[in-house]
Amino acid sequence: MEFRERNRPSRNTTPVQSLVVAAAPPSTQTPDEVLRDTVGQIETALSRELLDRILAAPPAFFEKLVVALLLSMGYGGSRQDAGQIVGGSGDGGIDGIIDQDALGLDRVYIQAKRYAADSGVSEPEIRAFSGSLGAAKANKGIFVTTSYFTQPAQGFAERHPFRIVLIDGKQLTALMIRHNVGARIDETLYLKKIDEDFFPDE
């Protein structure tokens, strides 16, 4: 009995099998693929943070941001005064205007709606924007939101004779990151490879 008691496993002892950690399978990705995936994850997190900061800012900030982004993308040429904010009471449904030429003969009209992620832009809002374009005798406009567009809203924009471009929250932050609006380069990494022209042919 003393021998049996001495060899009986203790209730507080963790089985050895449970302590064995399975080894992670070797990665099938190349270092270049791992690097690109990491950059993608960083940009996804940055996109979420940009939207959070936009929603926390005053409403007028969003209109200024949208105009600044379109100017950074090249709309309005190189003129600093090409974009203007017209949002406010009595704006007629237009939040911003960008003059494509010095005389303002070719204009892009902008509507900016800062909505929470779960509040989509519906067809009546796009319909109202198209009415504002008609009242301004314009034939093209850009509707930007921090949320998303419903299917009926997208369908109306595609069918309308005016050229109406829809930019949702995901596209907005992607453009901001690409054109360094609200985001800046923190660090630059150089990926180098063999210079085949330097070495003689085998």
**pTM of whole model > 0.95?**
no
Distance CA 175, CA 168 (A): 11
Position 84 scores a pLDDT of: 82
Position 142 scores a pLDDT of: 95
Distance CA 136, CA 179 (A): 29
Identify which of 121, 141, 122 has the alpha carbon closest to the alpha carbon of residue 130.
141
The whole-number average pLDDT for the span 55-77 is: 90
92-134 pLDDT, tens digit per residue, is 689 999 888 777 678 899 999 999 999 999 999 999 999 999 9
24-37 pLDDT, tens digit per residue, is 566 688 888 888 89
* Domain-wise residue ranges, the chain: 31-178
Residue whose token pair is 């595609």 = 158
Architecture of domain 31-178: 3-Layer(aba) Sandwich (3.40)
